[in-house]
Structure 1
Amino acid sequence: MDKFPEYTLSIKLGQLFPPRPISNVPSEDVLRRISNLPVYIRTQTCATFGWDDGKYYRKVMGTALMTVEEEKKFLEIVTNAFKKYHDFMFGQYIRPQRTIGKKIFRKSR
């Protein structure tokens, strides 16, 4: 049993969705992030509800029913994960910005 489970969880979530590119190759970074999304969502959901992996899959696959509150919170977690993914991709690859002091400059292409 972990002595500090919150610390371990934050490290794991940080590794699943790091704030910097995973690779120097943009396509590889995008692919790795897409493959990490389900794991990130599962980890966030299990941490929020206190579920283990088995209960998570039973609830998500419909074998065990979710309550209305659980379903709303689950969809909120999924939406936040997608938003975090979108915001990173948009800021990193579509409209990258660099800051110098307090000024923001768009990278020229």
Structure 2
Amino acid sequence: MKKFLSHLVLLVAGLFFSQQAAAVYECNVKVINVLVYADGSLNVLHSGRGDYTVVCNLNTERQGVSPTTCAVWFGLLEAIKKKNGVADIYFNGDGSCSTLPTYGSAPAPVYIGDVTQ
């Protein structure tokens, strides 16, 4: 019975993650500008979209992203911009970098990373 339950859990988890994996996209982009608005919104202009997209908020949770994570992302985006590096921004859902909704309509990323070249 224990073995059956562990197999069942693995099967359900596999189905869940395979469903999730079907609807994701990733942007490997140059960071052009990083803006922080008075309300705490962190807005980024990157080469994949060519318009500003809100990533998170430094004052309040936005779409599951805490202010602490937002502060780390702000520092990471600034560092990537400064060294003219490439940011890896990963999103759940259907879409692409070029069709990413702009400003406050943009979804929150799942993660932001620094791509080593």
Fold conserved between structures, TM > 0.5: no
Q: Which structure's residues are more often strand, by fraction?
A: 2
Higher relative contact order (CA 8 A, sep 6+): 2
Q: Where is the helix percentage greater, Structure 1 or Structure 2?
A: 1
TM-score using structure 2 length: 0.30
Normalised TM-score (structure 1): 0.31
